[in-house]
Chains A and B, each alone.
Chain A
Amino acid sequence: MTTTDLIGKIIQVVVGLAAFAAVLGLILFFIDRAPKKGRDVIQLVAFVLPAMILVAVGLVYPAIRTTITAFGDKAGNFIGLDNFVWMFTQPEALITLRNTVVWVILVPLVSTIVGLAYAVFIDKSRGERVYKALVFMPLAISFVGAGIIWKFVYEYRPAETDQIGLLNQVLVWFGQEPVLWLQSDPINTLLLIVVLIWVETGFAMVVLSASIKGVPIEQLEAAELDGTNAWQRFRNVTLPSIRGGLVVVVTTITIATLKVFDIVRTMTGGNFNTSVVANEMYTQAFRAVQPGRGAALALILFVMVLPIVIYNVRIMRQQKEIR
């Protein structure tokens, strides 16, 4: 492409945008002038329709297509539940499902508990902001970046040479043999989980810290007057008050965990029994060219996320009613 081509293309883009704006302006103008009778309906349709179309094209249609693909073979012929049978019978696929379950249990649980404890302990302490920033910072790192950093932490060199991985260096200091961490099944999955916990704890801490600050001070003082100790106050006053925040944190982290892909792909590529559903979905659909299996895995992922989203929405609605 030469510079003249480029200028031509930029002009095309500008003209296109201008035409779009003009059409939009025209539509808005006519909506404004719509006949009085049924104006509300016309306006409603005009404003909601573009969003609906985008949702239909970008979300509903792909979802339906994926569902159809999940019941087909490589060429798209209907093969019933074969892809799901494969998923629940192949030992390799079962390990993937098992790993995903381990991830989904451990990551939200540990990062929420650690984040909550940290938020409580640093609450109203001196230098609170600095402490917060320290734990919050990993959240700013992309999953791929985090994966590479931790890959170095777990890096292995033979005993007779210098270690470059922190974890093995610590072992060597204690007079132990270095270990090929990322190959040691099943501990390698736990080591990958640590990475996501490291990232998500910051998120849990910030949201929960804000919730804790919203707990009415009167209630805490009243409880104190009643002779409660710190644990009882936390258990019976703080915790119920931050329930909304907790639900948001747990559900958000759970969904992020179900979708985890980058960490596994950068650190082990799904080898050594560490694969998870999202990674396997990509591998099956695009590397192995088995779109049916990929779609079936995507469907399973969707089914696993669904109850969490429904629960989240219900809690939110309850809270709104209380308010």
Chain B
Amino acid sequence: MSVKKHRRLIIPTAALAVLGLALTGCTGDTAGGNKADTECADYDAYGSFDAGTEVNVYGTILEVEADRLQESWKDFETCTGIDVVYEGSAEFEEQINVRVQGGNPPDLGITPQPGLVADLARAGALLPAPQAVADNVEKFWSDDWAGYGTVDGKLVGAPLMASVKGYVWYSPSTFTDKGWEVPTTLDELSDLTAEIATTETKPWCVGFASGVATGWPGTDWVEDFVLRQSGPDVYDQWVTHEIPFNDPAIAEALDAVGSFIKEPANVNGGLGAVNSIATTEFGDAGLPVLDGTCAMHHQATFYEGFWPEGTEVAPDGDVWAFILPGTEADANAVTGGGEIVAAFSDSEETVAVQTYLSSDTWANNRVSLGGVISANTGLDPANASSDLLSASVEILQNPDTTFRFDASDLMPGAVGAGSFWKGMVDWIGGKSTAETLDFIEGTWPE
């Protein structure tokens, strides 16, 4: 063969080779578990399926969390023969609409916003929850939680995992050294803040920046204060727009938040003045707690994973957290988040997976793998991977706890993922409470 002929072949061959190599990256050859080695008793009820039966699951969970999620149903896959294929996406909230409209929905969707679940259900995309799932919800979830998976009186899905928001992170050793005490009421928190402000330490460090979602940590602050100051009824009315966004109750909450973090004396430990809050990354914002440049940081349980390696998270460790107190001591209202598993398909294998995910078996399996908790009442708090998570499970399982879902996840996207965030950024940048709330109210879709 002449060189010229050779050359003709080289490029297509090379291109094919590159394509082939690139595509091998798409495969995830996981060795299937051996049925004989696996304890299958727990999974008998789900039946047995032909090899190659697939269920597609689509959600927002990524990276390590996604690996653990897949690990959590490995035995289930081995015993039932169902292949659960998970796909995670950072653009889930936008892409799920695209996939549904394009006629290519997944079998199951794991959605962290009940508001979005409601939109999908009203558009007719979601199927009602099968009886087995409904039974599990009845058995393992409180009415509050069941409500987040219910649209217009019909259950569409069971909750999955949970997180508790409204924790205030602090350093126990700094508190002991300076003789500060963990406050039990909001007034005490105010006094403590004022006391710390007189020292060299700044009471609070705060960061609202989070790329295109900048502003959401601010919404968590407001939600916590609405729930604690005005109670769950006002909170629910606020979420469903029975009271306007610029209602006096909300203004009171925002002003209260302002008294903590919009005062130059109170922020922003080592990070700048009040206006630096809008550009401080939420992940970095709490770190000054460790070296004592600031005393407290408000963030959900997941912040445990943000401390540098080697940080001991314990009541007597480097950092620990207390729940943002209520107006009175021993208040029991907390905000939090979670996911809803809803089905786009009613095939037998999809029902089996959906049922398994709503069971106590799954909750214990997943929580044992670490990093998260669930509000499933069948969950053994001892399975939680850290002291903080065990404490959170106890809060969630306590029948006296008033739990409310993150309001911004329940509101329509235009507000909850739009003007509420933007409003918080503008507010911390100097806009008045009234102006901010009027702006957000004006964007509420009819």
Prevailing SS type, chain A contact patch: loop
Q: Is A180 within 8 A of B272, CB to CB?
A: yes
Q: Is B29 within 8 A of A2, CB to CB?
A: yes
Bound together, the chains give a CA A74 to CA B24 distance in angstroms of: 42
1/0 per residue, CB under 8 A from A, across B97-133: the answer is 1000000000000000000000100000000000000
A182 at interface, CB cutoff 8 A: yes
CB distance from A166 to the nearest CB of B (A): 16
A142 at interface, CB cutoff 8 A: no
Q: Is B27 within 8 A of A180, CB to CB?
A: no
1/0 per residue, CB under 8 A from A, across B79-104: the answer is 00000000000000010010000000
Total residue contacts A-B, CB cutoff 8 A: 70
The answer to whether residues A286 and B94 also contact, given A74-B445, A156-B272, A272-B425 and a CB cut-off of 8 A, is yes
**In the complex, chain A residues whose CB is within 8 Å of the CB of B23:** 6, 10
**In the complex, chain A residues whose CB is within 8 Å of the CB of B24:** 3, 6
A161 at interface, CB cutoff 8 A: yes
> Nearest CB to that of B271 among chain A residues?
A158
Bound together, the chains give a CA A271 to CA B418 distance in angstroms of: 11
Bound together, the chains give a CA A118 to CA B413 distance in angstroms of: 48
Q: Is A271 within 8 A of B422, CB to CB?
A: yes
A92 at interface, CB cutoff 8 A: yes
1/0 per residue, CB under 8 A from B, across A1-44: the answer is 11101100010000000000000000000000000000000000
Q: Is B417 within 8 A of A287, CB to CB?
A: yes
B41 at interface, CB cutoff 8 A: no
Bound together, the chains give a CA A233 to CA B278 distance in angstroms of: 53
CB distance from A238 to the nearest CB of B (A): 44
Q: Which of B29, B212, B270, B276 has the most CB of A within 10 A?
A: B212
Q: Is B417 within 8 A of A183, CB to CB?
A: no
**In the complex, chain B residues whose CB is within 8 Å of the CB of A289:** 97, 119, 412-414
- Number of contacting residues on B, CB 8 A? 36
CB distance from A286 to the nearest CB of B (A): 5
Bound together, the chains give a CA A158 to CA B269 distance in angstroms of: 10
Bound together, the chains give a CA A288 to CA B272 distance in angstroms of: 31
CB distance from A93 to the nearest CB of B (A): 11
**In the complex, chain B residues whose CB is within 8 Å of the CB of A182:** 279
**In the complex, chain B residues whose CB is within 8 Å of the CB of A288:** 413-414, 417-419, 443
1/0 per residue, CB under 8 A from A, across B2-27: the answer is 00000000000000000010011011
**In the complex, chain B residues whose CB is within 8 Å of the CB of A157:** 272
CB distance from A45 to the nearest CB of B (A): 32
Bound together, the chains give a CA A161 to CA B419 distance in angstroms of: 33
A69 at interface, CB cutoff 8 A: no
Residue B26 contacts which of A6, A158, A180 (CB distance < 8 angstroms)? A6
**In the complex, chain B residues whose CB is within 8 Å of the CB of A180:** 272, 275-276, 279
B310 at interface, CB cutoff 8 A: no
Which residues of B come within 8 Å of A, CB atoms? 20, 23-24, 26-29, 94, 97, 119, 211-212, 214-215, 270-273, 275-276, 278-279, 412-414, 417-419, 422, 425-426, 429, 439, 442-443, 445
Assuming A10-B20, A161-B270, A271-B426, what are 5 further A-B pairs, CB within 8 angstroms? A158-B272, A271-B214, A271-B278, A289-B119, A289-B414
Enumerate the 4 nearest inter-chain pairs by beta-carbon distance, A residue then B residue, closest first: A288-B414, A288-B418, A158-B272, A289-B413
CB<8 Å pairs between A and B, sample of 19: A1-B26, A3-B24, A3-B27, A6-B23, A6-B24, A6-B26, A92-B439, A156-B276, A180-B275, A180-B276, A183-B278, A271-B426, A272-B278, A272-B429, A287-B94, A288-B418, A288-B443, A289-B412, A290-B445
